[in-house]
A and B are shown apart, each in its own frame.
Chain A
Amino acid sequence: MEDHRPQLPKKTQDLFERAVQVIPGGIYGHNSPANTIPGIAPYFAKRAEGCRYWDVDGREYIDFLCSYGPIVLGHNNKEVNAAADEQRNAGDCFNHPSERFVELAEYLVGAVDFADWAIFGKNGSDMVNWAIKIAREYTGRKKVLYIDGAYHGSGYWCPTRGPSGSIPEDNVHSHTFLWNDIHSVHKLVNQHKGQIAAIITTPYHHPGGADSVLPAEGFLQEIENVCKNKGIVFILDDIRAGFRLHHGGSHQAFNFTPDISCFCKAIANGYPLSAAVGRDEFKQAASKVFMTGSYWFSAMPMAAALTCLHILKRDNVVEHLQAMGKRLTRGLENAAAKYGLRVTCSGPSALPYMSFAEETNLMRMQAFCSYCMENGVFFHPQHNWFINAAHQESDIDEAINIADNAFKKVANKVPA
């Protein structure tokens, strides 16, 4: 770490100073610079194309965050934009849903093997919260079990970051179990016999600021069994990984079947849309739970989603993401090793999480990402990265070359 205050480029500085006058924190939520490398990271984006974007000061980056996931085909995808434009010209926000609403539900019911119905919202939290309500309506029970350290959005039922604005009563019916520890699931199920409405998991564990962990053999299948046997609704939060690991949802990549799956990030290549699908058994409960929003029926994002999902399948994007991710992670591991550093790339290669082995405080990771950002590669220091369909071998190799220099600098300057 440099022992001086980093100087923001002029436009960024001016814009952020204006922002703090009129917006709490300047930029809030996951986009806050405080969550990346303040002073080094870009704060405001200007434009984007394919796998690259430019900030307001004209700095160019190869994008390995992809807007925290939504950009799956690449920024500014012409086909998706054309579909969205066509719908926008016809109308977007009506008194009623459009034909796209039904078409998209039909598509999802056809694509996801267990799905009999689909519902739509704007963000991942919308769908997860809706799914929890459906489970409570269906079972008449209150409690929800979720993975310790998991992020399921900003719903009241799920403690998020920090105590601000929360009261203990918000999540008295939420309990955590340990990832890959089926005994901790059984223990809670026995402890709260007949009271558990839902068990919610992600398809693999992707906690913030820590390595991702794939499911142990049989872990998710056993949760599925527990849910079946105890009348508990099994909800899959596939917001982050959905359609990046398998065209029909991540459960198919890991060979288990939930009752309800929630999708968002990769569904419409950046157009605001989320979806949940479920089995017939829960259709009536889903119809009773009132969840809606002013823009939840907007037609344009649905048109974008239809095209995005079509391209994902047509171009076998899942395979491309995996191949590019592997090229990146292997390249990084090899580059680090040249300087005596060991890095771990965890999680699926389409959404890799890199960390320095045995590092617990992120000092090296932050130094590494700082150097990469200063040289045109956006790697997030404590969030998994995303590959998109526009990343080509040359982009990956360019990023690895820059990372190589970053490793050299880290090895020389940051003590282990």
Chain B
Amino acid sequence: MDTPSKDHILCRLHLNAVLFALEDLVAVVPEAKQILSEESFSIAFTTCSKLKSAVKFKDGKCEFIGAKDAPGAIKILYLSERHLNRTFTQKGFTLPLLTSGFFKLKQLIVFKRLSTLLNKYLQPDANSLEETTFRSKHLKILLGLMLAAIKELSENEPFSRDLLESTPDGLAFFTIRDDDISGWIQWREGKVNYGKGDPPYPPDVRIVFEDSAIALAAFHNKIINMAEIGLGRLRIEGDTAFAEKLGWISERISFYLENGRP
């Protein structure tokens, strides 16, 4: 695998992990449902380098379509991956090109409002996180984003790919004990699958956060894992080597999305 640029990886994360998070946003945040109201539409994002991803809104729900075709979608074209990244991170001044759906201004406004709300849940202020209900929703959305991002990195970033290729097949199950939040990720025959809730097979490793506070700190790379494991606030049972590798990959998500290394 050639070494892809940081912009390429970040673009993939925006298209396939951040957009995916809209599913959870609409599912768990009532305000998102209100914004969406009765609107039904799809929106597809494409770059000149042929990366694409779409989401569909219907019946008060959001469905992540990914790279599949979305007939009748509002289509937005970015001149480069960097262009998309700068727009998603609200750093860009160049507007993307609207190539289809010129007359769906209302839906575009709905999408813009959902994006702003998603941003609020993905990058909340400290006060919001003090509030239990908000924190729970934040964690639910973030867990989904992380699982999607791990899949994306595992398939497209040489470091992550190499790491998993040297790993036996396995299924990791994440739970936050004091909250109804769980998800799983599976590495099998060279492919990554993931999902919310209980896993389809018995897990090879269980990663249990004792409470949402420790999960929050862990998701934001603000804990020392060895210390929390020793104290029993983070439990990893089973194939610890697989969990450790997933941990190394997940650390890279924030490096990309929060503009750090690598």
Contacts and interface: CB of A to CB of B under 8 A. Distances in A.
Partners in one complex: yes
A20 B230 contact: yes
A331 interface: no
Given A162-B244, A163-B159, A6 B232 contact: yes
A20 B226 CA distance: 9
Given A163-B159, A361-B204, A362-B239, A27 B170 contact: no
Contacts of A8: 231-232
A361 B243 CA distance: 11
A1 B206 contact: yes
A209 interface: yes
Given A162-B244, A366-B237, A415 B202 contact: yes
A25 B206 contact: no
B168 A27 contact: no
A17 B244 CA distance: 23
B228 to A, nearest CB: 9
Contacts of A366: 237-238
Interface residues of B, number: 27
A270 to B, nearest CB: 24
Interface residues of A, number: 31
Given A360-B204, A361-B170, A363-B238, A163 B230 contact: no
B229 interface: yes
Interface string A369-391: 00000000000001000000000
A20 B235 contact: no
Contacts of A161: 244
Interface in A339-383: 360-363, 366, 382
A28 B224 CA distance: 11
A17 B231 CA distance: 8
Contact of A39 (B205, B206, B232, B240): B232
User: Which of B159, B210, B235, B244 has the largest number of chain A CB atoms within 10 A?
Assistant: B235
B232 A5 contact: yes
Contacts of B225: 25, 34
Interface of A: 1, 5-8, 16-17, 20, 24-28, 32-35, 38-39, 43, 161-163, 209, 360-363, 366, 382, 415
Closest 8 CB pairs of A and B: A25-B226, A361-B204, A361-B239, A20-B227, A34-B229, A33-B230, A361-B238, A5-B232
5 contacts: A1-B238, A33-B229, A162-B248, A360-B168, A361-B238
Given A26-B227, A34-B230, A360-B204, 16 more contacts: A5-B233, A6-B232, A8-B232, A20-B231, A26-B224, A26-B226, A27-B230, A32-B226, A33-B229, A33-B230, A43-B230, A161-B244, A162-B244, A163-B248, A362-B240, A363-B237
